[in-house]
């Protein structure tokens, strides 16, 4: 990764506590520790745990975001950082499968994606229906389907990647505490947090990157502005001896050809062919919610496979998972100071598309928190921009 700005001679070394070791918290802590601050990272169950939004098997990294150039630029930067991080770390947790977008003629999202990727010099291919059929015969598409292929996109092995970032954070001097943080009821300036293990953590600055727990910790501030929802993914077996559903024959796919909301992964590390529902599910409590996939979702996934990947329609379910999104009203991130406590920062709202952006979020948050470097303030990340009604605009 390109070296980030180190603490300047005029910037004092600070004690900083980061609460939450998901991808946003882990990368923020890592970036701050690389800048030679004294950083403690706190998580109730540890990096990449099964309750966290970052705890899944795999997450997509792609530059395509329709007309939304902000997130395309962040994804490009983050891909660069992830690649360099894994090169230095020695683990191959970025699988360059490519990302295939399926759409029908006239799809506006696909058209805007082409425009932005061209403007940002991101390589992509446009595939006709005939080319799509010739390259991916295992995918059944309507004769007028069009496709866009991002060859440099792929899959991040999520829980392993978060754990790797946390391990490198510790290696360079950071401290990881496995415990929950208990926040005082009223704060104007936060000096300490108590943990469930009885430890008092003192810091100059506190960053709360708690994903679906942010509304619980700060109910008056974001309780009605971050929406944790139940999301289900299902892994299906593939036919014996058939490698057409694994890389390099099969890319990640995102289907805009009929109804937005389906995407999936090829068979990575022999775990199965992953089918996921992107539409927001019902409200979900990350502490108490059972993580058993609804049988009706399996029926829906099989019906989709019969239409799009017919060779898999009768394959067994190998694994299933319930995780959660924790989106803001429109899908923009939240990276802002607490309105009543000048040394408390809130970072979240990333689920559904945030995992890929961990490095860029870490860089931005570290710069904003310390003031050692001053990036342009992004109004879309502000608390004031968050609404109380879900109207998703970022995909």
Tens digit of each residue's pLDDT (9 = 90 or more) over 56-85 = 999 999 999 999 999 999 999 999 999 999
- What percentage of the chain has pLDDT greater than the value 70? 95
pTM: 0.95
Round to whole Å and give the CA distance between 102 and 99: 10
Categorize the per-residue pLDDT at 96 as very low, low, confident or very high, splitting at 50, 70 and 90: very high
Residue 8: its pLDDT value, please? 42
Q: Which residues pair with 237 in a beta bridge?
A: none
Has residue 1 got a pLDDT over 50?
A: no
| Confidence grade of residue 391 (pLDDT, cut at 50, 70, 90) | confident
Residue 148 pLDDT grade (very low, low, confident, very high; cuts 50, 70, 90): very high
Across the range 213-230, mean pLDDT stands at 95
Q: Is the separation of the CB atoms in 395 and 353 below 8 Å?
A: yes
- What pLDDT was estimated at residue 120? 98
pLDDT at residue 2 above 70?
A: no
Give the bridge partners for 320, in sequence order.
234
CA–CA separation, 267 and 276 (whole Å): 13
Q: Mean per-residue pLDDT for 316-336?
A: 96
Q: pLDDT band for 19, please (50, 70, 90 cuts).
A: very high
Strand partners, 255: 102, 262
3 pLDDT band (50/70/90 cuts)?
A: very low
The pLDDT assigned to 229 comes to 95
Q: Can you tell me the mean pLDDT for 198-222?
A: 96
> What is the structure's pLDDT at 258?
63
- What pLDDT, on a 0 to 100 scale, did the predictor assign at position 274? 98
- Mean pLDDT, the chain, integer: 93
Which residues have C-beta within 8 Å of that of residue 144, sequence separation ≥ 6? 104, 105, 129
Residue 55 burial (CB < 10 Å; 0-12/13-18/19+)?
A: buried
* CA 257 centroid distance within chain: 24
165: DSSP letter:
H
Superfamily of structural domain 95-155+229-324: D-Amino Acid Oxidase, subunit A, domain 2 (3.30.9.10)
Per-domain boundaries in the chain = 95-155+229-324
DSSP state for residue 153 in the 8-state scheme: -
Q: How many other C-beta atoms are found inside a 10 Å radius of the C-beta of residue 15?
A: 14
pLDDT tens by residue, 187-201: 789 999 999 999 999
Instruction: Name which residue leads in pLDDT, 289 or 8.
Output: 289
Q: Write down the pLDDT at residue 393.
A: 87
């Amino acid at each position: 990764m390109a070296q980030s700005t180190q603490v300047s001679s005029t910037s004092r070394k600070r004690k900083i506590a980061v609460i939450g070791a998901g991808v946003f918290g882990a990368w923020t802590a890592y970036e701050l520790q690389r800048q030679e601050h004294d950083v403690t990272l706190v998580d109730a169950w540890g990096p990449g745990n099964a309750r966290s939004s970052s705890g899944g098997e795999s997450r997509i990294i792609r530059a395509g975001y329709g007309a939304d150039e902000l997130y395309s630029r962040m994804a490009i930067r983050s891909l660069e950082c992830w690649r360099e991080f894994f090169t230095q770390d020695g683990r191959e947790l970025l699988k360059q499968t490519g990302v295939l977008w399926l759409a029908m003629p006239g799809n506006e999202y696909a058209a805007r994606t082409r425009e932005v990727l061209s403007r940002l010099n991101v390589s992509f291919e446009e595939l006709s229906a005939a080319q799509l059929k010739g390259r991916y015969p295992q995918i059944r598409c309507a004769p007028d389907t069009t496709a866009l292929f991002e060859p440099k996109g792929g899959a991040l092995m999520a829980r392993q990647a978060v754990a790797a970032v946390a391990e490198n954070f510790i290696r360079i001097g950071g401290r990881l505490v496995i415990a929950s943080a208990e926040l005082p009821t009223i704060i104007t300036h936060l000096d300490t947090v108590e943990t469930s293990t009885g430890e008092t953590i003192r810091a100059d600055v506190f960053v709360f990157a708690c994903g679906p727990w942010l509304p619980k910790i700060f109910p008056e501030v974001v309780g009605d502005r971050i929406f944790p929802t139940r999301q289900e993914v299902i892994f299906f077996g593939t036919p014996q001896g058939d490698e057409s559903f694994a890389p390099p024959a099969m890319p990640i796919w995102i289907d805009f050809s009929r109804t937005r909301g389906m995407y999936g992964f090829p068979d990575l590390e022999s775990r199965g062919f992953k089918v996921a529902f992107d539409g927001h599910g019902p409200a979900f409590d990350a502490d108490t919610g059972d993580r058993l996939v609804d049988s009706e979702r399996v029926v829906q996934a099989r019906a989709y496979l019969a239409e799009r990947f017919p060779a898999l329609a009768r394959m067994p379910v190998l694994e299933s998972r319930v995780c959660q999104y924790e989106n803001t009203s429109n899908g923009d991130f939240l990276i802002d100071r607490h309105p009543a406590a000048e040394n408390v920062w809130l970072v979240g709202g990333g689920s559904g598309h945030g995992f890929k952006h961990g490095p860029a979020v870490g860089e931005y948050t570290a710069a904003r928190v310390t003031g050692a470097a001053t990036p342009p303030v992004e109004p879309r990340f502000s608390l004031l921009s968050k609404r109380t009604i879900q109207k998703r605009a970022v995909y």
